[in-house]
Chain A
Amino acid sequence: MSADASSKNGDRRHLWDDPKNVQILIWVFWACCAIVFALDFAFHRHPSFEGETLPIEEMVGFYSIYGFVACVLLVLVAKQMRKVLMRSEDYYGEVLGATAGEPDGGARDEGRAPDGESREGRDGGD
């Protein structure tokens, strides 16, 4: 894994650059979901609650449906929250990494060791 700085975007094709591979992954994932769902027919899950506290939990596919619905709800609600809560990045007048996030990402780690040295120098001064 050489991180050749000169090969910016023209580097070799990686695993997920190929849409075919991504498609295969998605199909495998869907198959997994189907299998996991079908496990409810193969096993009897013991209920988490005693007695008749939460009968719905024993329904086939309860956990699958709950997980799916929970996450869809989560995202939809969060999306609505943005309308109320989202402000510009410098809303409080201070942006993290404003001095560090230079566009040349690779350059920063090159300058890291000397950076550390200069910090050291600064520390040594006291």
Chain B
Amino acid sequence: MAATETHAQYVMGETVRLLDGPLQALLHPALPLLVAGVVAALAPPRLRKALLVLAPLWGAWNLLGFTSGDLVSAELAGFELILLRVDKLAFLFALLFHLAALLAGIYALHSDDRMQQVAGLLYAGSAVGAVFAGDLLVLFFFWELLAITSVFLIWARRETASTRSGLRYLLVHIASGVLLLIGAALHWIEFGTLVFERMDLGSAASWVLLLAIGIKCCFPLLHTWLVDAYPAATELGTVYLASFTTKTAVYALARGYEGCEPLIWIGMAMAMFPIFYAVIENDLRRVLGYSMINQIGFMVCGVGLGAGLGVNGAVAHAFNDVIFKGLLFMSMGAVLLRTGRINGSELGGLYKTMPQTAGLCMVGAASISAFPLFSGFVSKSMVMTEAAHEGYVVVWLALLFASAGVFHHAGIKIPFFAFFAHDSGLRPKEAPLNMRVAMGIAALLCIAIGCFPNALYALLPYATDYHPYDTTHVVQQLQLLFFSALAFVTLMLTGIYPPELRSTNLDVDWFARRAAPRTLRVLAAVGGAIWYGVLAGLADVLKVVRSVVRWLHSPAGRLGEPWPTGTTVFWAATLLGLLLLFSYLGSAL
């Protein structure tokens, strides 16, 4: 019972219930997905497909048996590890992950690719494990598992470019894991505990852990792995990838850094800079990647704004983002599957033969743009309201700019260039039925949450009486969005809007991918030149020594020629004489 009392403080305002009695029949919430993933590795195709859909349902059913306050700990080599800590925050994310796994599972049904099916299930299970991890070591375990399982979704594309992209992705995420482990060790040294709970920025551990989480969360300058790797994955892989990694990071941020002011500014930067890239990017899934960083910016900002509406808004927006961003990635995945293309410059006019996909994509676009009655509206406005309430004028103006921008590039650009714009002449088939079903469910959820947000609000970590639908909010948002669209229409009609071009746009990964290798090459060349110069110098010195030795010792050399006996006797006598002299002097002293 002592353990119960110790842990009571770690669980948000709930009473602690030790797992015993009927609860013991429940599995750890991550297990259904992880076990299904392992079974799928050996199962025949039909069973694998069944597992993709049934495992998330089984997992969700298992999950519903837990309530806030449940705690499972185990002892390992003197450490008390908290394998499971249930509270409203973790529960909401776990529920979301099961929903995302279910949608992706349905979306995957047309494919037989074992690698993706297994990786998808294990990846979803790792995310669930991570949000229930009560301490930093268990979190580290699932953190790395997330990286290792998800990279196969990129490699499953089986192209050279995606293989290399996957390697870079893995490198970044393993580094994030290593930082997490270092942070955990520092935390142990500084505080004598590994329990993962709210920290104040200041201790070394808190900074290192923030960096580890920040990498996964796409903090500015640490963000390029996302826009590098997500477009490189398969059509299905990106749907999985978009749901788990960054949202686990948002969870970790909400758990550890609620109310840390720097996050407000970091979040603001994240919401701002990607939208510029999104406008000029040609690969439509990379556009969605940039818009994803923009959306995470709102969440990071919300976490920084702190307990109450801020964190509630961040978490609610994470929930909605998984669904609407998933929907957008699913629609672009369908386009990629059916046409083999994803560049805006090569697409257009697909509404003619893919009208359902086009319609569903537009629902996702309306949701991410936060149109009233769609899901983005009910969560994004919470963060905006809180920023205004706390008096952050600059942040508020920036977020408003970003809201207009996201409508511009994700709300309009994605559906417009894929399905409308100029006719590309492509007449692909409509997306497979399973894909349309998955997109349909996601679209329904977007609208349902947008119309009846209270169901989502009830799940949020803090009690809320927030009402998104007052006249002011709705009017403001409609004005902002319609006039953003007006800007798009005007720029298109006047021909100022930049055309979609096949290109690579440099981002900060240029420093790692181009500048660093080049610098190293230059350094290697200079270092090499110096090294060889030194070697050549040494060789010259040796040559001189050798020629001197030759000169002395060669048969014709000074020391090589036969000496007359008299000279030899003279030198031997001189040496003996000197020896005698020294020994005499030595004994005299």
Contacts and interface: CB of A to CB of B under 8 A. Distances in A.
B408 A5 contact: no
Interface residues of B, number: 84
A92 B513 contact: yes
Q: Binding site of A, secondary structure by majority: helix, strand, loop or mixed? A: helix
Nearest to A76: B496
A67 B481 contact: yes
Interface stretch (B245-253, B393-401, B532-540, B564-572): B393-401
B6 interface: no
A82 B475 contact: no
Contacts of B491: 71-72, 75
A119 B112 CA distance: 8
B388 interface: yes
Given A53-B393, A92-B504, A64 B280 contact: no
A17, A36, A75: which has the most chain B beta carbons within 10 Å?
A75
Given A66-B400, A112-B337, A39 B478 contact: yes
Contacts of B507: 85
Contacts, number: 236
A120 B115 CA distance: 9
B428 A3 contact: yes
A70 B351 contact: no
B159 A99 contact: yes
B418 to A, nearest CB: 13
A83 B63 CA distance: 52
Contacts of A18: none
A87 B503 contact: yes
A123 B158 CA distance: 12
Interface string A29-65: 1101100110110010110111001100000010111
A94 B160 contact: yes
Contact of A102 (B161, B340, B423, B505): B340
A16 B355 CA distance: 12
Contact of B427 (A15, A40, A106): A106
A71 B404 contact: yes
A20 interface: no
Interface residues of A, number: 77
Contact of A116 (B112, B401, B498, B503): B112
Contacts of A101: 340-341, 346
Contact of A74 (B276, B355, B496): B276
A49 B283 CA distance: 39
A11 B352 contact: yes
Interface string A85-106: 1111111101111111110011
Interface stretch (B50-58, B80-88, B209-217, B482-490): B482-490
A29 B280 CA distance: 25
A124 B491 CA distance: 53
Contacts of B161: 94-96, 98
Interface hub of A3, A77, A117 (most chain B Cβ within 10 A): A3
Contact of B279 (A43, A61, A78): A78
Interface in B375-395: 384-385, 388-389, 391, 393
Q: Interface majority SS on B: helix, strand, loop or mixed?
A: helix
A43 B471 contact: yes
A94 B396 CA distance: 40
A105 B341 contact: yes
Contacts of B114: 119-120, 123-124
A24 interface: no
A88 B504 CA distance: 6
A119 B501 CA distance: 33
B62 interface: no
Q: Which of B164, B485, B514 has the most CB of A within 10 A?
A: B485
A15 B420 CA distance: 11
Given A68-B484, A85-B505, A96 B427 contact: no
A99 B353 CA distance: 25
B280 A78 contact: yes
A82 B425 CA distance: 28
A83 to B, nearest CB: 10
A86 to B, nearest CB: 5
Interface of A: 1, 3-5, 7-9, 11, 14-17, 26, 29-30, 32-33, 36-37, 39-40, 43, 45-46, 48-50, 53-54, 61, 63-72, 74-79, 81-82, 84-92, 94-102, 105-106, 108-109, 112, 116-117, 119-120, 123-124
24 contacts: A1-B430, A8-B425, A29-B486, A36-B482, A48-B384, A64-B480, A66-B480, A67-B482, A72-B487, A75-B279, A75-B496, A75-B497, A75-B498, A78-B279, A81-B276, A81-B280, A98-B159, A105-B426, A105-B428, A108-B340, A109-B338, A112-B110, A120-B45, A120-B112
